[in-house]
Structure 1
Amino acid sequence: MHCEHFFYAKVRSSGWRFLLLLLLFASCKKSEDVTFGSKDVRAVSLGTAPLELMEGDTVALDLIFNSRATEALYKDFSWTVKDPAIARLEAKAGVAISLVGLDSGATTVAVVSSDQRLKAEKTILVSKSFLLTDPVYINFGVTPPGAPFNSVSAPQTGRLANLADSKGVSTGINLDIIDDFEGENGSGMLSNTLGLPSSVSGTAFWGSNNNPAAVIKLSNLNRNRYYDLSFYGSRRDVADNRETQYTVTGRYASATVAQNASGNGSVISTVKNVRPTTSGDVVIAVKAGPNNNNGLKYFYLNAIMIEPSK
C-alpha cells in the first residue's frame, strides 16, 4: 500500500493516532525524492592514459567532472608536479592549468580540491625533442647515392625510420609513403647545376593518371619548430610540360609549389616555415600540376631536403 493510501485509510482516527499517521505520511513523502540504491558520489579525473609531450611543449590539462552538480560545487583546486625538473605548472590553482615539458622523463601531476575530498593524478611522459641544425637529404630512386642522402628504394607503402642529417646525426624523423607512387625509373637528368649526385637527379619515383597522387608523411618532427621543405623532380629527353606539384600540409594550412620536371637540371621548389601538427607530422602530396600537358600526366619526385627555418 502506498503511503498516501495508508494515510487516507487512517485519517478518521483521532487523537495521537492521527498525529502519528501524519508524521508517517511526511516521512513517506520525503523518501519518494530518493532513488534507493543510489549514492551521492562526487569525483574528478584527469583521464586514464598518460600524457605524452616533448621538451618545450605547453599543453592544457582540464579536470573531468563526473557530473554537472560536482562541477558546480567545486571550483577551488590545487595542483602539484612530483618532479618539477621534468615538467612545470604555469598555474597551480583552478580547474584547468597549463603544463610545460622541461626535460625527458616521467613524472606525475596531482590535483586536490580545497576540502581534500576530490583528488586525481596523471602520469606525464616527456620525451627529448631533437633540434635540427643541419639539413636532411632524402633520395627517391633505384640507385642509393650514399651519405649524406637517406634513400627510399621502393615506391610502395613503407617506412624509412630515423633519418640522418647531413652530418650523419640521427634525427628521429621518420618518412612513410602512405599512398603509393606508380613506379620508379632511371630516366632523370644525368647532370644538373644544383650539386646533386647523378644518382639522385637521374632516378625518381613517378605517377600518372593511373595513380594520380602519391602521399608521404614525415613524423616525429619537433612540433615547436618550423621547417623548410625543398623538392626536386626531373625527366630527361622529353619536351612536353610535366609539371609536378608538391602540396605540404602542417599544423595551420597547406601550401603548394610546382616545377616542370621535363629537362629540369636547375630548379628546386621550396615551401617555407612549415610547422608540424601537434603530433609532429607533415604530409606531402605529389601529383601532376595544372600546367602539365602530358597525355598521361606523368609526375616525378627525385629528392626532398628538410631544413630548419631561419
Structure 2
Amino acid sequence: RQGGSKVDNFLWFLHSYRHEKKNLITFGTGILILVYILYTLGPQRVFNAILSARPEYFLLAGLFYLLNEVVAALSLKVITSSRIGLLELIISHMCGMFYSNATPGRIGYYYTAFSISKKTETSRSGNIGILTLFQGINFLIKVFLCIMALIYFSSFIVDTESRVYLLLVSLFPILGVFPIILALYTNFLNKILIKIPILRNFIEYITPMQDAVRGVDREKILKLIILSLFGWIFMSVQWFLLAISMGIKNFTYLTALMIQPLLTTIMFVPISPSGLGLAEGGSALLFRVVGLTPANGVAFMLLVRINSIFIDLFGIIDMKIHGKG
C-alpha cells in the first residue's frame, strides 16, 4: 500500500484531528484552566517571571531541545526506511511536534508518519504503526522515570493529596503502554474487531501497522531505549537552563531530570492541547513541593512551551515543501 491508498487516506482523516468544534472545545478547556491558575496565583507575577528570562540562556536551552529533536530523529531512522536522510527526518519530526502542541493527547505528532510516507513512498499505515511503537517505548521509559520521580519527590511531600496526584501521574503512562502492546504485538484487537460488523473493516488498517512493528527486531528496540534516555538527558538540560534563565534558585539539574517526565506525561492527557493548563498546574504543584513558588512553576512551564515551539516552528518547512500528503 503506497502513500495515497484509501486505507492511508482514511488514516490521515482519523489521526489529523481537524474537527474544528472538538479542537475549539479542548482549546477552550485548556485556556479556562490556565486562566483560573493565573487568576489564583496572580497573572502579573507569572508574566513578570517569564519576561525576566535571560535571552542567552533561553537560546542555549533551545539548542539542547534541538539536540533532543535530533536524537528523536535518529530513533526514527533506526526503525524506518534507510532511504530517508537524517535532516529530512529531523524536519518531519519537528513538524509533527509542532502539530502535537495544538492537539489533545499530542496526537498531531502522527503528521510525522504521513510526512515520512510521502518522502519514502511507503505505507502511511505502516509508518503510523512504527510511530506508535516509538511512542510506546517512550511511555514505557516514562513509567520508570515517573516512578523514580515519585520516589524523589516523596521526600519533600507531606500532604496526602500531593502524594496521590504524583502517584496517578506516575501510573498514567501505563495506560498508554499496555493498549499499544496489545494492539501491535497480539491479535487481541483483531479478534474484537472481527466480531463487530461495523468495525470489521478496521482490520485492514490495523494489519499493516502490526506487520511494520513486528518487523522491528530487539536490537533496534534496544537502540531506541538508549536514544530515548539520551533525549531525556538533553531535554532535562533544556529545562535546567530555562530555570537558570529565570533566576530560579535551588532548581538543580537533578530536579530537572525528575520533574521533566512527570510534566511531559501530563501533556498527553487528552483534555486540552498538549495538556495546556494541566501541565502548568502540575508544575505549580511540583514547584511548591520542592520549596519554590507556584507562580514560578507556571511561568517555567509556559517558558518551556514557548522555547520548544520556537524550535519546532522550523518544522513548518516540511509543510511548505511537502504539504500534508
TM-score greater than 0.5 by the shorter chain: no
TM-score normalised by the chain length of structure 1: 0.20
Q: Which has the larger radius of gyration?
A: 1
TM-score normalised by the chain length of structure 2: 0.19
Of structures 1 and 2, the one with the larger relative CO (CA 8 A, separation 6+) is: 2
Bigger proportion of residues as helix: 2
Bigger proportion of residues as strand: 1
